[in-house]
Amino acid sequence: MDLSQWIGILVFFLMGIAVAGGLLSLSMVGGRKSTPVKDAPFESGILTATPARQRFSIDYYLTAMLFIVFDIELAFLYPIALNLRDDGLFALVILVVFVFTIVEALGYVWKKGALEWR
């Protein structure tokens, strides 16, 4: 196998190590002085209000789950949309059946009260 085409990746890799290693070793040279401001978590310059490690409510997972399900359906809608012009009525019928099923599922979730924040 001809390895010359990978030379760019090798250079990139070496540069990465050089930059990161250089910065790290520079910080060793000067010694450290810690101040309260330095120790605070970086929050784009805004003062931090609460600790970063808070626990999520278990309800969050329920909402996240529903989001995953409805989000992933897009994976099917996109190819159908691409082929809509070629396949015409057939694709449209499939699209309608598919969307109907999802809407039905949404109605089910709603009616079951899974969207309420308890």
Partner 1 sequence: MTHLNVVAATPQIIVAAAGVLAMSMGLFNRYEIRRYGPSAISLAGIVAAFVMIVLLWGDREEAFGGGIRSDRFSLLLSAIFLVSAALVIGLAWRESAAVDRRGEFAGLVMVAVAGMMLVASAGDLIVLFLGIETLSVALYVLCALEVWRERSLESGLKYLITGAVGSSILLYGFALLFGATGTVDLAEIGEQLGGTSFAGEPLVIAAMALIVVGLGFKASAVPFHMWTPDVYEGAPTSITAFMSTATKAAALAAFLRIFQGVLPDLAGDWRVAIAVLAVASIVVGNVAALAQDSLKRMLAYSSIAHAGYLLIGVAAGSVQGAEAVIYYLIVYLAMTMTAFAVVIIREREVENGEMLEAFAGYARARPVLGVAATLAMLSLAGFPPLAGFIGKFLLFSAAVEANMTWLAIVGALGSVVSLGYYLRILGVMWLGTPADGERPARLLAVPAPVMMATGTAAIAIIGLALFADPMIDISRGAAEALLAP
Partner 2 sequence: MSGSGVPLLAYLLVSGAMFLIGLLGVMIRRNPLMVLLAVELMLNGANVTLVGFSRFWDTTDGQTFALVVMVVAAAEVVIGLGLVVAVYRQRLRLNIDEMTRLRG
Binding site for partner 2 (CB under 8 A): 1, 58, 61-62, 64-66, 68-69, 72-73, 75-76, 79
To partner 2, the closest distance from the beta carbon of 79 in angstroms equals 7
Residues 40 to 99: which contact partner 1 by CB under 8 A? 87, 90
Which residue in the set 32, 38, 111, 118 belongs to the binding site for partner 1 (CB under 8 A)? 111
Q: What's 45's DSSP letter?
A: T
Size of the site for partner 1 (CB under 8 A): 8
φ, ψ dihedrals at 56, nearest 5°: -85, 150
Spatial contact of 76 and 98, defined as CB atoms under 8 Å apart: yes
3-class DSSP state of 26? helix
Instruction: Choose the stretch contacting partner 1; rule: CB under 8 A; options: 20-28, 54-62, 72-80, 103-111.
Output: 103-111
Q: Which does 79 bind (CB under 5 to 8 A by kind): partner 2, partner 1, none?
A: partner 2
Alpha-carbon distances of 38 from 1, 3, 28, 46, rounded to whole Å: 50, 45, 17, 13
Residues engaged in binding partner 1 (CB under 8 A): 87, 90, 101, 104, 107-108, 111-112
